[in-house]
Each structure stands twice: as structure tokens, then as C-alpha cells.
């Protein structure tokens, strides 16, 4: 029997391949959307030949992009409004819905990603929750309309190229700062410290010029390039490292997580020397 494989090229010398049963392609005016049925990682969302998530390991990415800042906010105040930029698959929204937050805004430039995910991934149906407000436009234009409005912003973006490149500029981060309340916290996915050190450095330095508290943390994401992923948290007031471990533990009795816990909350900020060198 002929085997079918999907291959994502991480650079011109390295690739990651999955044996698949089936590949479906959906229509979008902005990007090619595919959903693969893979043997090892379950269903996989691919945009323009780049893996966005797999059913098998998406929990690590989504829990880690959300809970570190959400927990920091929730243990210091009651967040009213949260914004997810990108994130049309709903994974970050699913994690945010675990908290008592009044409204969750999601702005994804491509309506077709949202429609495809709701059809293909059971977890994406959380996007139909009445606390979720969905907007379809570019995050950089959307953010300029809000001042002092969101308590948490999660930049759940693809890699910094094509339509997503604007979501990594210093001007965008300044507008995010303006859209956050005085207690606001931003978390961005900041790529692989192994393959994309320059990108991580640029993100870190840009945020450092704008926010008083900026911290990089790590998580293993097996289906992403190098398997080691970074996130950068930028905060106006609250430091994720000043939380009380027992209070995190207590909050986590209210809902379940598969990766994030009160120990990971602190341990994820322990950086290997080569990552420290990237951001120094």
C-alpha cells in the first residue's frame, strides 16, 4: 500500500514529517487551509504548509500561552475583558473560558480558519460560547481602536511572515500597550529559541522598551520546529513570579489542565544558558 506523508520544512536543511491517512483542503482568500488526519498526532491544522496545531500536543501550547498571564491577572484582580489576537482555532479561548472573565474578544483575520476549525475540531466549538465575541480583521488595525480596555491580551499568532508579520512590530506592541488597562498583561508566542533566536531577541527587546516587566518562558511542543518553544510575557504591573504557589494550586482545583500547574508556573521561567544569551 502506498503511504502518504506530509512534510513541513523547518529550514532548507531540516524537515518534520507525519504519516497521514487523509488531507482535506479548505478554501480561503488569504491562505491555504488544510486539515490532516495523522497517525501519530491526530488531526492537524496546517496553514500555508505550516503546522498550527495537532490534537495530540495542542494542550501544551494553549495552556502555556494562556495560563501564565491569566493566572497572574486573576490572582491580582478580576479581569473583565480579554483579547486573543489570531487564535482562530479557539484553543486559547477554551483555556480562557476556564476563568470567571466577562468577555473574551477574538480577532482573527481569516473567517475561514474559524469556520474550518469549528467543523473539524471538537474543542473549537468553544468559540460559540456566549462570552466570546469574534471579529475578522487584521489584529494591527483592530488594536488601534481600543484604549485602556483589555486586562489580558494573548497574541496567538502564526510565524512572523506574510499576513502575520505586522503582529511582531514595535508599533503593534505599542498599540497593544495602549489597549491594555493599567494592570494589563500581554503574552506572545515568540518562536523557537533554537531556530529563531533572532526573532525571539527582537520580540524581547521591543517589548522591553515598552513594558516594565518582560519575561521569557519555555515549553516543549513536539510538533513545532525543534520541539522547544518560547513565549514572552509583558506586564504593566503584575509579575508572574510574585504569585503565591498555594493560591495557584487552590485556583487550579476549579478546573483541569494537562500541562500547566503551580510548579510549571515558576519552573517555565528557568532558562538554559543559550536562551539567556539570546535575550541578553
Cell numbers 500561552 correspond to 65
Strand-pair partners of 33: 26, 47
Cβ pair 89, 111 in contact under 8 A: no
Cβ pair 146, 179 in contact under 8 A: yes
Whole-angstrom Cα distance, residue 164 to residue 58?
Answer: 20
Is residue 52 close enough to count as binding ligand SAM by CB under 6 A? yes
What is the set of active-site residues? Answer: 156
Site string for ligand SAM, 99-128 (x = CB under 6 A): --------xxxx--x---------------
Footprint (CB under 6 A) of ligand SAM, residues 65-94: 85-89
Minimum CB separation from ligand SAM for residue 174, in Å?
16
With a CB cutoff of 8 Å and minimum separation 6, the contacts of 253 are none
Minimum CB separation from ligand SAM for residue 75, in Å?
25
Helix (H, G, I), strand (E, B) or coil at 214: strand
Site string for ligand SAM, 202-241 (x = CB under 6 A): ----------------------------------------
- The angle at the Cα of 206, spanning 205 to 209, to the nearest 5 degrees, equals 85
Footprint (CB under 6 A) of ligand SAM, residues 138-157: 138-139, 156-157
| Residue numbers at the binding site for ligand SAM (CB under 6 A) | 52-53, 61, 85-89, 107-110, 113, 138-139, 156-158, 163-164, 166-167, 189
Amino acid at each position: 500500500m502506498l503511504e502518504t506523508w506530509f512534510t513541513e520544512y523547518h529550514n532548507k536543511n531540516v524537515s518534520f514529517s507525519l504519516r497521514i491517512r487523509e488531507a482535506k483542503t479548505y478554501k480561503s482568500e488569504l491562505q491555504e487551509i488544510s486539515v490532516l488526519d495523522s497517525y501519530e498526532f491526530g488531526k492537524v491544522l496546517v496553514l500555508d504548509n505550516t503546522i498550527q496545531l495537532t490534537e495530540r500536543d495542542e494542550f501544551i501550547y494553549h495552556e502555556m500561552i494562556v495560563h501564565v498571564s491569566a493566572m497572574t491577572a486573576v490572582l491580582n484582580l478580576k479581569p473583565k475583558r480579554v483579547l486573543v489576537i489570531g487564535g482562530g482555532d479557539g484553543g486559547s479561548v477554551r483555556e480562557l473560558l476556564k476563568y470567571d472573565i466577562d468577555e473574551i474578544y477574538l480577532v482573527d483575520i481569516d473567517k475561514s480558519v474559524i469556520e474550518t476549525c469549528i467543523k473539524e475540531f471538537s474543542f473549537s466549538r468553544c468559540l460559540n460560547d456566549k462570552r466570546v465575541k469574534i471579529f475578522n480583521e487584521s489584529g494591527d488595525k483592530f488594536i488601534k481602536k481600543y484604549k485602556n480596555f483589555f486586562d489580558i491580551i494573548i497574541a496567538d499568532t502564526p510565524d512572523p511572515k506574510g499576513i502575520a508579520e505586522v503582529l511582531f512590530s514595535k508599533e503593534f506592541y505599542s498599540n497593544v500597550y495602549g489597549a491594555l488597562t493599567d494592570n494589563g498583561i500581554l503574552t506572545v508566542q515568540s518562536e523557537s529559541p533554537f531556530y529563531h533566536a533572532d526573532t525571539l531577541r527582537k520580540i524581547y527587546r521591543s517589548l522591553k522598551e515598552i513594558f516594565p516587566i518582560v519575561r521569557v518562558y519555555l515549553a516543549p511542543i513536539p510538533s513545532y520546529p525543534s520541539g522547544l518553544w518560547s513565549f514572552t510575557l509583558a506586564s504593566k504591573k503584575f509579575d508572574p513570579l510574585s504569585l503565591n504557589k498555594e493560591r495557584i494550586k487552590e485556583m487550579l482545583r476549579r478546573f483541569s489542565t494537562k500541562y500547566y500547574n503551580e510548579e510549571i508556573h515558576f519552573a517555565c521561567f528557568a532558562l538554559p544558558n543559550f536562551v539567556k544569551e539570546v535575550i541578553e
